[in-house]
Structure 1
Amino acid sequence: MEDPAEILALTVPQLLRRRAREARPGIALSARSIGGWRDRLTYGQLVQRMDAVAAGFHALGLRAGDRIGVLLGNEAGRECLLTALGALRIGAAVVPFNTRASDEELEHALTLAEPAAIVCTQAVASRLARLCPGARLLAIDGAEGGTEAWPEPLAVEHAPAPEEAPDPDRLGCLLFTSGTTARSKAVMHSHATMLGAGLACGAALGLRASDLYQGGWPFFTSSPLNLGAMSCWIAGAGLVLEEPLDNRGRLRLIASERTTYYHGVPSVVHFLMEEFARAPSDVSSLRRIGYGGSAMPPEVIRRLAAQWPHVEQVQIYGMTESGPAGTRLEPAMMEAKLGSIGSAMPHCTIDVVDEAGRSLGPGETGEILIRGPGVAKGYFRNPEATAEAFVLGGIRTGDVGHLDPDGFLYFTDRRKDVINRGGLKVASVAVEEVLYRHPGVREAAVIAVPHPALGEDVAACVVPREPGGLDTDALAAFCAAHLADYARPRRWLVLDELPKNPMGKVLKTALRARFAGAAGA
């Protein structure tokens, strides 16, 4: 058993070199290439590819301290992860950008991060050139026009990049929040906090060196790097990164890769079960399923146990700022503590605090605070938000809950007005801000409404400036120009006025009730 302090003293490249020297059997990474083939790499091969990409970056003039952006989807998962490792190897930081962002959202992220180069495809190069004039674009599908070629490790040879002085506190990645404020913030993770998140999550999940851990998390979230890659590589396991697949494709990949551990947001797990019920396939290799990002309905937990009795379940809770380390609900406690989001992961502590930051006792409701080795260093170029959120040696989650006498956490509500749509979080205020820009909108309020598979969906309640003067189809098209696809309202309610309390605050509880009434009419 490795000493956790020893792991946290390493950089990510140092960890991979250690695993390669151990000659671990099996694969370290299975991921799809932009060329359509799946690359399966041992630890030794992964280190070779990392060094080759790093050498290519160095030959292009990229250096320690630079930020290297990535605007790629999981259909290029191989190139995503090799870019990240190449950047970390030269002492640069990787910055994954949201492939589903609107132009406005992406331009904000690009302006904030100021990447020295952006790895992309030719399909998005013109968009990036328009949003970030003068940006250096490295295309994984070859140089063309104003782009340069990404250093494909199988096609180019460069002099080895010089070894950087090991510094676990060096910035490793910037990960953008998924909508907890009107403007997305860039969370700063060092090598140490990336590995700290992997250390906590891997222990919580119960990963083994023999595991193949499959997930389809978008690369722009914290999960592929910190939850997926770091957890696996600390355990000596293999990461199977999904390309965009339908549910039948996910099941086929489980069968072909002999996946032992599947992880997804609850809606994905739910869809997998439905697809399996329609057409059973080989899931005999699975020993565990993990899920997080939103609440798993208890009835779905019970159905999963009945449908796949040989598969254990693990639920986790965390956020980008915590690594995403936080809590876990283990198989042995799944039934006894059904409804809980678990107890603190190994190496983490969970506290429930009042507005003054005082710890509350069992059964008392307050804000959830997470402490642990995966907690980020703060928000990039945002000291005010950092000072507000990173307090008491941890991160304020903005979520409200309580602990029971056994230390198990129960989620109650959100302090932040955030909609959790299938694990992707949407700030109501961000959507409202866009709606208020439309000349036909006098007032707007955005709420979460139940969705049978995604958990929550985005609903907009709008008051027109002129009676009968709002076309919701036109409003939807307007939102499409300014919001990520998952943040756009799918359901609409046009009202004469928004309900308010005597202080003028919009009563969103009343809106939810009125929306439910309108939907059921």
Structure 2
Amino acid sequence: MSIEQWRTAWQQLTAAGAPFEVVTPADGAPRYFRQTARTLQEVIDAGRVHGEREFLVWQEQRLSFADYFDQVDRLAGQLIARFGLQPGERVAIAMRNQPAWLVAFAAIQRCGAVCVPLNSWGLRDELLHGLEDSGAGLLLCDESRLTLLRDDLTARQRTTIVVGMTSVAGLPDYCFRYEDLLAAEALVVPAVRVEPHAPAMILYTSGTTSRAKGALSSHRAVCQALAALDFQSAFCALSSPQRIARVIDSGFAPTSLMAVPLFHVSGLHAQFLSALRGGRRLVLMYKWDVERAIDLIRDERCTQFNGAPVMMQQLFASPRFGGADTASLFGLGLGGGASSAALLGDMARRKPDVIGGSGYGLTESNGIGAAIGGDPFLYKPASCGWPLPIVDVRIGDSPAQPVPDGQPGLIWLRSPTLMSGYWNQPVASAETLCDGWLNTGDIGYLDDEGFLCISGRVKELINRGGEKISAAEIEACISEMPGVEDAAVFAVPDPLLGEAVALVIQGERLPSVQDAQLFIAARLAGYKVPAHVYRVTEALPRNATGKVLKAELKQRISG
């Protein structure tokens, strides 16, 4: 298909009366999808129609949709009857991926409460910050998180429901076993009505340097985001009919291997909530391990895997990838960080029939911005795709004065999926949301065909004697050099230039410092060649979404 045919398919999906009809308000407010759920309660309840179809696979647990909803209703009944949970109250979840996480989220929404997913990768200070900052009166956690927070929870006597405890022996009075609550007599859950503009969740930003801020989103914002994800799937099917036909003809049931954390939009929205509505099977991983992932793809016949670039690199590097063990895998989605051209090319070469894709979004936009998949992905794999139909994009220092297409600048987004603001942070909210536009902090441009391309982050621009250098550009360049498995670029002080470029490369068979500099010099402007190159064999420190913790890395290097 040609790009003109893709545009036609796009227009057909969004026209009046179409499944993804887009409404343009007369008052100038952001465009929105007409046909969406009003609340997350409606989104979740839509999954009940799938009945006895298998939904969740995790270790020895297997739950049908009916099993899952039985647990949701049982937990919701206990939350209201035993703990007196009221609409609008905050409830935190702190545990690694497992069925109880998904049950807890739906039960919280069933009660009309506000869900606060906490970073289960975080240490005591980060977890405690999320609890205290959100004002959550109730916590659902696993045993590992209870161990981290036990002294703090005891001091505050915060009501805690613990998953996976084999007995109540040694549990403090404020703790209750999750399994006991599910085993109790089922209670009738009263209908709790919430409005579309009511708060639904607080998602903490996965910052790499500063303390995480809580992005508060309404039910309407999340529902519009889920509709945008559905649109992208439908557009991918229309623009890549031959690829979709091969998936259908394979006979494999749609099954996603889920290794990204549920406390992030890429896990919560794009995988869990989308699968729940659509009847897709989810195979959960407690934590990422590439060989275990391939075992699960083989044994459970997984058809889809979405992950951060570092996950995808490890998957492609396995000698088992591309053989019989991954024969069922037809969909690969990239997210969570910039991807090098080499990685994207490897994807197309190793699995030519794959439906590849990537996207661009933030926690503050509920993961929605631009997206690309299927044949359009092969056409422009280094781009993020077209902005989704309900998203406006402007490039420049101010959304009121956008620069021409092709010229890079600060990316601003406007859509109905944006957060309401940062929880209890009016100043930070005003700095990030400007007249309905979100300051993403990312640098990029719209090309002559309307595709959004990302070139770096404002905070990661290095000012070398007045020349602005994108760390992401150098990282993408050096990642194509043989022997370099991972890379990070950041600024270091320089007495003459103010800042100089520092590069850390990681791998088992790394090139020399001089060879790395020559490789970059042959491809980028001379002033972008790193003055300092550090070679390491240990993995670079990353947060839960795959972003390199550069502040921690700097300390390692300087130490």
TM-aligned CA distance change 1:519 to 1:259, over 3 Å: closer
Contact 1:205 1:290 in 2 (8 A): no
1:12-411 mapped onto 2 (5 Å cutoff): 12-21=40-49, 23=50, 26-27=53-54, 29-32=55-58, 36-42=59-65, 44-58=66-80, 59-74=82-97, 77-132=98-153, 133-134=155-156, 135-142=158-165, 143=168, 144-146=171-173, 147-150=175-178, 154-179=182-207, 182-206=210-234, 211-277=254-320, 280-355=323-398, 357-411=400-454
Aligned residue type for 1:136: T
Change beyond 3 A, Cα 1:269–1:152: farther
How big is each residue's C-alpha offset from its partner over 1:442-493, in whole Å with a ceiling of 9 and x where there is no partner? Answer: xxxxx889585875448796xxxxxxxxxxxxxxxxxxxxxxxxxxxxxxxx
Find the aligned partners of 2:390 and 2:491 in 1 and give their Cα distance: 41
d(CA) in 2 for partners of 1:116 and 1:509?
Answer: 46
Partner of 2:501: 509
**1: CA distance, partners of 2:87 / 2:449:** 46
> 1:272 Cα shift?
1.0
CA distance in 2, matches of 1:211, 1:8: 23
Determine which of 499, 502, 509 is the counterpart of 2:494.
499
Aligned counterparts of 2:93 and 2:373: Cα–Cα separation in 1: 34
Give the secondary-structure state (helix, strand or coil) at the position aligned to 1:17: helix
C-alpha displacement of 1:286: 2.3
Which of 279-288 and 365-374 deviates more?
Answer: 279-288
Q: Does the 8 Å contact 1:54/1:86 carry over to 2?
A: yes
AA aligned opposite 2:420: K
Aligned CA distance change for structure 1 residues 514 and 298 (closer, same or farther; 3 Å): closer
- Cα distance between partner residues in 2 of 1:357 and 1:131: 47
- Residue by residue over 1:66-120, the C-alpha shift from the partner in whole angstroms, topping out at 9 and shown as x without a partner, is 111111012xx20111111111110111112112223333332222112111111
Q: Residue by residue, what CA displacement relative to the aligned partner does 1:363-393 show, whole Å, maximum 9, x if unpaired?
A: 1221112223322111100111111112243
Distance 1:395 1:501, change over 3 A: farther
Query: How far apart are the structure 1 equivalents of 2:53 and 2:232?
Result: 22
> Structure 1, unaligned stretches of length 5 or more?
420-446, 462-497
State whether residues 488 and 503 of structure 2, in contact with CA within 8 Å, keep that contact through their aligned partners in structure 1.
no
Residues 154 and 257 of structure 1: CA distance in aligned 2, closer, same or farther (over 3 Å): farther
Distance 2:461 2:181 in 1: 41
The answer as to whether partners of 1:199 and 1:231 remain within 8 angstroms in 2 is no
Q: Which residue of 2 aligns with 1:439?
A: none
Change (3 A) 1:12 1:418: farther
TM-score by length of 2: 0.72
User: What secondary structure does 2:297 align onto?
Assistant: helix
CA drift of 1:265 comes to 0.9
Classify the secondary structure of the residue corresponding to 1:13. Answer: helix
Give the Cα–Cα distance (whole angstroms) in 2 for the partners of residues 50 and 2 of structure 1.
30
In structure 2, the residue matched to 1:442 is none
Cα offset, 1:408, TM superposition:
0.6
- Flag the 1:350–1:356 CA change in 2: closer, same or farther, 3 A: closer
Higher mean displacement: 210-219 or 398-407: 210-219
How far apart are residue 249 of structure 1 and its match? 1.3
Q: Which runs of 5+ in 2 are unaligned?
A: 1-17, 22-32, 238-247, 463-470, 505-528, 537-559
Alignment match, 1:493:
none
Q: What letter matches 2:172 in structure 1? A: G
Aligned 8 A contact 1:197 1:230 in 2: no
**Shift of the alpha carbon at 1:351?**
2.3
Structure 2 SS opposite 1:507 = strand
Q: Which residue of 2 aligns with 1:485?
A: none
String of CA shifts for 1:272-321, please: whole Å, max 9, x gaps.
Answer: 12124479343232222111111222122222222112212111111111
Structure 1 distance, partners of 2:398, 2:500, is 23
Q: In 2, distance between residues paired with 1:278 and 1:229? A: 25
Amino acid at match of 2:270: L
Q: Is the 8 Å Cα contact of residues 73 and 107 (structure 2) preserved in structure 1?
A: yes
Aligned residues: percent identity?
A: 24
Give the Cα separation in 2 of the matches to 1:347 and 1:297: 28
SS at match of 2:337: coil
CA distance in 1, matches of 2:179, 2:90: 16
CA distance in 2, matches of 1:13, 1:198: 13
Amino acid of the structure 1 residue aligned with 2:109: L
Offset at 1:24?
A: 6.7
Counterpart residue type for residue 218 of structure 1: P
Deviation at 1:181, TM superposition (A): 5.6
Q: C-alpha displacement at 1:228, in angstroms?
A: 1.3
Equivalent residue letter for 1:516:
H
Aligned letter for 2:282? L
User: What whole-Å deviation, never above 9, does each CA across 1:317-344 have from its counterpart, x for those lacking one?
Assistant: 1111111111112222234324222211
SS in 2 for 1:82: helix
Range with greater deviation from structure 2 (345-354 or 376-385):
345-354
SS in 2 for 1:509: strand
Residues 324 and 306 of structure 1: CA distance in aligned 2, closer, same or farther (over 3 Å): same
Once the 2 structures are TM-superposed, how far is the Cα of residue 130 of structure 1 from its aligned partner? 2.5
1:11 to 19, 32, 39: 39
Count of residue correspondences: 446
Distance 1:232 1:360, change over 3 A: farther
Equivalent position SS for 2:325? coil
- Per the alignment, residue 437 of structure 1 pairs with none
In the TM superposition, residue 516 of structure 1 has moved relative to its aligned partner by 3.4
